[in-house]
Amino acid sequence: MALMQNSGFEQSLYTAKNKKNTVTREHLIKCIKRATGFSAAQSSNLVEQILSFLSEQIILDKKIRLRMFGSFSLRYKNARIGRNPKTMVEADIPARKVIKFTPAPTLKKRINSNIDNIDG
């Protein structure tokens, strides 16, 4: 948390020239490099290690809780019959696992605190 508040890390996420308004792996690497002074290789390695660790934990069916951000967990969906709404043809949808994200109350508050500033 101190990294983000004191070094401009959070600011750099919003001011980077990102036309699609999407934070990518490369974007994270650049922001970490700028905020910490790490080399591009070190920053890339750090991002890869974090993402690899989180992926492995999800695969092992462990819940990931990131305070003030949210939780990731696996959710199991049963097999079912789906229907193409255009053709009305039925199709079997197999059982599968999906990743569920639940935002933390702090993140929900931050998202909704600017609700009055939305142009619409």
Fold category of 62-113 in CATH: HU Protein; Chain A (4.10.520)
What pLDDT digit, counting tens, does each position of 109-118 carry? Answer: 999 987 765 5
Domains of the chain, by residue range, sit at 1-60, 62-113
Structure tokens at 7: 């070094």
Torsions phi, psi for 106 (to 5 deg): -60, -45
What pLDDT digit, counting tens, does each position of 10-57 carry? Answer: 555 555 455 678 899 999 999 999 999 999 999 999 999 999 999 999
Q: What are the DSSP E strand ranges found in 2-120?
A: 64-66, 70-77, 80-83, 90-93, 96-103
Tell me which residue of 58, 53, 49, 54 sits closest to 29, measured CA to CA.
Answer: 49
pLDDT (0 to 100) of residue 120: 47
